[in-house]
Chains A and B, each alone.
Chain A
Amino acid sequence: MLKINMIHIIKKAFFLLFLIMVATPASAQIELNITKGVVEPLRIAVSPFYAADTQSNNMASQVPLILTSNLERSGLFKAVNPQAFAQNPGSIETSGVRFPEWRATAAQFLITGKVSQTANGPRIEFRLWDVLSEKQLTGTAFTTTRQNWRRIAHIISDQIYKRITGEEGYFDSRIVYISETGPPQKRIKRLAIMDQDSANHKYLTDGRNLVLTPRFSPTEQKITYMEFTRSGAKVYLYNLQTGQRENIGNFKGISFAPRFSPDGRGLIMSIATNGNTDIYSYDIDSKRLNKITSNRAIDTAPSYSPDGRQIVFESDRGGTQQLYTMSSSGSGLHRITFGKGRYANPVWSPRGDLIAFTRMYKGKFYIGVIRPDGSGERLITTAYHVEGPSWSPNGRVLTYFKETSSSGSKQARLYTVDITGFNEKWLKTPRDGSDPAWSPLNK
């Protein structure tokens, strides 16, 4: 009896051993590093919007065109040819998106929409779809007055841009610049403003006086600019909503218009007195001027960091024209450029991570960017004469102007370029243009 029990127990034990050996799974997991990729535009399909009634027809076809134009102009997106579209707006409206067919167009994202009329004006609705995962990423409806419909298209562009890239957009903004006409000796310069896609262009001054270097306020629809009158150079503060302008000072010895502080309540500028140029801050309300640098060198072209705590400026105190940063009170001076040639016109990005500048070297001009600690300098465009960079509201795009002169005539044009250095595009203006300044996002 004992023997049978023992055998039974031994069998059980071996069975247990067998189970243990078989049941423990092989633990395998590959881990790979992906350190290379491509940088190419994301493919999007922008479907014409569905028009709920005949009144909405125009907007239903125009809004997608503006979306396509904005997104493609950013260089980050490439629109699929509409001829390849799988569904028409009516089919999308009634049966929903047929994702396998849209995948066949190689689009990664699909934008659909609908326009209808309400008592308060047109209602424009859009949806952004991820074609691969078949999910809606975002969707919003807007209602506005008839005249504002273009702005809705820009706001939608910003929402799409933000959802996909994770960054704020910049399409609902404007650019103010100096419009130029005439021969080099008798150049007529007028202040002008337009949407960032060159639409809705308007002149703000009549060209009787020379105007220069407009700058946009970061908080309000106001600009500063310089005007040369018979009684000297004046700095004006121009309210775009009211059309009123006020002379904020006859700052003697100022050579270009001041920039705003990030809270919009102050200005920063450089003034030359007795052959010495220094940096000053100015409080708009109290009208108080405060000297920040006092150095025998020429300290000029200051620009605030987006948190207002630092200033970047151009100085030749080191022997050559280079860029420096300092605290807004003037302490903690730090030189950030050391390259050959001359550095000028630094502008701090609204994103805070880069400073744009103009550099002159061996007879050529460059627009470049550099990190505030002085590392990572990159020159991203060059021309015989190119300068005056200004940042888009999201710090991704720069605008500037290039000048060429041939056989007695001069040509000046505005351009935009992405901070990666790619996708330089001509920014269309009715006549020549220079000194562009980009507004913040419209409120």
Chain B
Amino acid sequence: MATLTHNKTDLGLDNGMKAALIISVIVHISVFVGSVVGLPFIKKDIPNIVAIPITIEMINTAEKTQTSAKPKNTPQRPKMVKETPPDLTPSPPDEKLKEPEPVPIPDPIKKPKPPIKKENPKEKIKPKPKKEVTKKEPPKPKKDFSSVLKNLTPDAVDKPAPPRMLTNNAEEGQDATVTLKMSISELEAIQRTIYPCWNIPSGAKYAESLQVKIKMFMNPDATIRDAVIVNGAFVKSDPAYRAAAESALRAVRNPRCSPLPLPMNKYKQWKTIIMNFDPSNAL
């Protein structure tokens, strides 16, 4: 009588099945671990109990010891280096037909060729401009907690808005596995740095509703590499929105408020920063 030649283990599995079982277990484990590590929504179930101060208090700038509101670098004078500027290809100006009253305008004239200018490297660099440059102190902001619009009303019906609590909490951006998180004071310092550079378009129609979201891409030295408007669809259709968006872009690009006071060792945290410019409380 022929007997079966394959071996049987105690569990009744043969070698081939054993290998398959081991591989299966390993792959299952790796999938599980990979999803725990890589998928944020699963990660969130594991509460992060690192002690982050959640108490919100209005801290005066004077009481702060760590980060300063002033930008780290004083404004630099431009280097005395001859540089070839990028090719200047401004779009040609549109000839417009204007009808100044009372005389009618003559016929349209051909568009001029767009000038492409290259700097002559031999040209002497002009002497540096004087006083205007050094006056770079951020100007005193208007009263902190009331509207920037003037109101002489003896018994104002609309009371000034209450001081706005810090809305950005440490719970934002906590998805990282990296343990070095941005602290409240570090985030506050960023906000405070940007405030004096944001020139709010205050007289626009419904100015208080013009909220702009800017996404900033940062260099490791805390200067800005690029900035884009997140809800950019409105820019083309609404000139008032475009003006508000450009004021926000100017705020983040302003050399007066750059580099931001960011902790160098937490670069991964602040590689991209989203700033919500919201004038509703200031107007």
Q: Which residues of A contact B (CB under 8 A)?
A: 2, 5-6, 9-10, 13-14, 16-17, 20-21, 24, 26-40, 42, 76, 80-81, 83-87, 91, 94-101, 103-106, 108, 118, 120-121, 123, 125-127, 132-134, 136, 139-145, 147-148, 151-152, 155, 162, 164-167, 221, 241, 338-340, 351, 353, 361-362, 366, 368, 375-382, 395-396, 418-422, 442-443
Complex CA distance for A332 and B164, rounded to whole angstroms:
38
Complex CA distance for A26 and B40, rounded to whole angstroms:
9
Q: Is the CB of A95 within 8 A of B119?
A: yes
Q: Is the CB of B158 within 8 A of A376?
A: yes
Complex CA distance for A87 and B151, rounded to whole angstroms:
42
Q: Is the CB of B78 within 8 A of A421?
A: no
- Residue B23 interfacial (CB < 8 Å): yes
- Residue B105 interfacial (CB < 8 Å): yes
Chain A binder among B48-56, B62-70, B243-251: B243-251
| Closest residue of B by beta carbon distance from A154 | B100
| Closest residue of B by beta carbon distance from A102 | B129
Complex CA distance for A86 and B133, rounded to whole angstroms:
11
Complex CA distance for A139 and B201, rounded to whole angstroms:
23
- Residue B177 interfacial (CB < 8 Å): yes
Tell whether A166 pairs with B241 under 8 Å between CB atoms, given A6-B22, A38-B139.
yes
- Residue B37 interfacial (CB < 8 Å): yes
10 cross-chain CB contacts under 8 A: A2-B15, A16-B30, A20-B30, A26-B268, A34-B195, A97-B88, A118-B109, A139-B94, A166-B239, A421-B151
7 further interface pairs, Cβ-Cβ under 8 Å (given A13-B27, A30-B187): A10-B26, A24-B38, A37-B282, A118-B109, A141-B93, A340-B155, A420-B203
Q: Is the CB of B200 within 8 A of A38?
A: yes
Q: Is the CB of A144 within 8 A of B105?
A: yes
Residue numbers in A under 8 Å from B23 (CB-CB): 9-10, 13
Interface size class of B (residues with CB under 8 A): 35 or more
Residue numbers in B under 8 Å from A144 (CB-CB): 98, 100, 103, 105
Complex CA distance for A91 and B274, rounded to whole angstroms:
40
Tell whether A32 pairs with B200 under 8 Å between CB atoms, given A2-B19, A105-B129, A377-B157.
no
B residues 195-243 near A (Cβ < 8 Å) are 195-206, 238-243
Residue with the greatest number of chain A CB neighbours at <10 A, chosen from B27, B142, B241:
B142
Q: Is the CB of A30 within 8 A of B172?
A: yes
A362 CB to closest chain B CB, in angstroms? 8
Q: Give 1 or 0 for each of B22-33: 1 = CB within 8 Å of chain A CB.
A: 110011011001
Q: Is the CB of B144 within 8 A of A100?
A: no
| Closest residue of B by beta carbon distance from A366 | B152
A427 CB to closest chain B CB, in angstroms? 19
Residue numbers in B under 8 Å from A81 (CB-CB): 131-132
Residue with the greatest number of chain B CB neighbours at <10 A, chosen from A29, A30, A91:
A30
Select one of A105, A132, A378 contacting B150, CB under 8 A.
A378
Q: Is the CB of A241 within 8 A of B157?
A: no
- Residue B91 interfacial (CB < 8 Å): yes
Q: Is the CB of B242 within 8 A of A145?
A: no
